[in-house]
Structure 1
Amino acid sequence: MHAMQYAITLPADYDMGIIRKRVADKGHLLDDHPGLGLKAYLVRERGQDGAPVNEYAPFYLWRTPEGMNSFLWGPGFRGLGADFGRPVVRHWLGTGLSRGPFRGTPVTATRHVERLPENTDPAEAVEAAVGALPDHPALHTAAVAVDPSRWELLRFALWAGPAPAGEPGTRYRVLHLSAPELDRLPAGRHW
């Protein structure tokens, strides 16, 4: 599993209805994309849920690198780049996945990234993060991943409603979820 995200920060007065329409018109195009576990079409709107900015920030869990590559080098990502400029694409190696009991369409997401201190054993930190994947009735899917170039640990979760109190991280609204191969991503530890 590979996790991937890019964020497009938009002007404070940007009409986020444009993004909502874009997702409504094009979101279904990845509903059957080979190799894609899930794509959560995420937004933050300035002044809502503590967001300081307007942002479009899709998040992906890829089952195969071929699926990820066919997206990045394909027409969808090229179209995004033509409309907004080419964004920096963050990438993490998946280390764990949990499927929650909620199987409907999630409405919110949380993403928490933390740098692993130099004196921390990365294997122990990853093991602890995978062991602490949330277990909550409103959980749809949660993942843990690592960027070894920065030694950053990523925790991502999709929720049926507002994220539970105390859940750390940046909060997003989910406009659409494409999940063609989510059931083919292995649950639990990925090593």
Structure 2
Amino acid sequence: MHAMQYEITLPADYDMGIIHERVATKGPLLDDFRGLGIKAFLVREREDGSPVNQYAPFYLWTSPEGMNSFLWGPGFQGIVNDFGRPVVQHWTGLAYTEGPASTAAPRIATRRKIPVPAHTPPAQAVAEALARHAREAEAAGAVASALAVDPRHWELLHLTLWAADSPEVPTDADVDRFRVLHLSAPERGLLGGPLGG
């Protein structure tokens, strides 16, 4: 499993209806994309209290071939044509877990990026992150949760999809909150559990 995200930060007065329309028309095109576990079409909007207007789709790939097919194909080129070429962040998958609300459509996504301090043994950091991942994935309202790591920058990424606003949705200062406009999930069943198994 491979996690991937790019963030397109838009002007403060940008009409986010353009992004909503883009997702409504183009989102379903990935509903059958080979090698794609899930793509969550995520946005943050100033009118919802976000510090920025942002389109930030998040992907979990079941195969590198699927990811490569997207990045070098017409889908990503459409992003490049319309917004310029964004930095594509990439993490190696550690775990994916379906939550108690797995049959519900996700409405909210939370993302936590956690740097791994230089003095912390990598195995310890991953073990602690896996334990936290398991707890969050079991929370009421959780649709699914993923944990990944970037060993180049030593950063852990924890993303959880939520069925709706609920008391369980984290509101910590270190958590980025997004709205989910659409979820494509052609190979969701292949994402597996710990260590992508």
Q: What TM bracket, shorter-length normalisation?
A: over 0.9
Change (3 A) 1:24 1:190: closer
1:107/1:159 contact within 8 Å kept = yes
2:179 is matched with which residue?
Answer: 173
Counterpart secondary structure, 2:81: helix
2:44/2:54 contact within 8 Å kept = yes
1:39/1:61 contact within 8 Å kept = yes
Alignment partner of 1:186 out of 187, 192, 196: 192
Q: What are the equivalent positions in structure 2 for 1:145-184 lying under 5 Å apart? A: 145-162=148-165, 164-168=168-172, 169-184=175-190
Give the Cα–Cα distance (whole angstroms) in 1 for the partners of residues 88 and 193 of structure 2. 25
Structure 2: 5+ residue stretches without partners:
none
Aligned residues: 190
CA deviation string 1:116-149 (max 9, x = no partner): 1010011111111112221112111101100011
Taking every aligned residue pair, what percent have the same amino acid on both sides?
A: 57
Q: Say whether residues 1:99 and 2:102 are aligned partners.
A: no
Counterpart secondary structure, 1:132: helix
Q: Say whether residues 1:8 and 2:8 are aligned partners.
A: yes
What amino acid does structure 1 have at the position aligned with 2:68? Answer: N
1:52 is matched with which residue?
Answer: 51
Please report how far the alpha carbon of residue 166 of structure 1 lies from its aligned counterpart in structure 2 after TM superposition: 3.7
What amino acid does structure 2 have at the position aligned with 1:140? Answer: V
Query: For the aligned residues, what is the CA RMSD?
Result: 1.3
Give the Cα–Cα distance (whole angstroms) in 1 for the partners of residues 183 and 128 of structure 2. 28
Give the Cα–Cα distance (whole angstroms) in 2 for the partners of residues 104 and 73 of structure 1. 32
Q: Relative to total residues, which structure has the larger helix share, 1 or 2?
A: 2
Change (3 A) 1:175 1:104: same
Return structure 1 stretches of 4+ with deviation > 4 angstroms.
Answer: none
Please report how far the alpha carbon of residue 167 of structure 1 lies from its aligned counterpart in structure 2 after TM superposition: 4.8
Q: What are the equivalent positions in structure 2 for 1:56-135 lying under 5 Å apart? A: 56-102=55-101, 103-133=103-133, 134=136, 135=138
What amino acid does structure 1 have at the position aligned with 2:162? Answer: W
1:130/1:189 contact within 8 Å kept = no
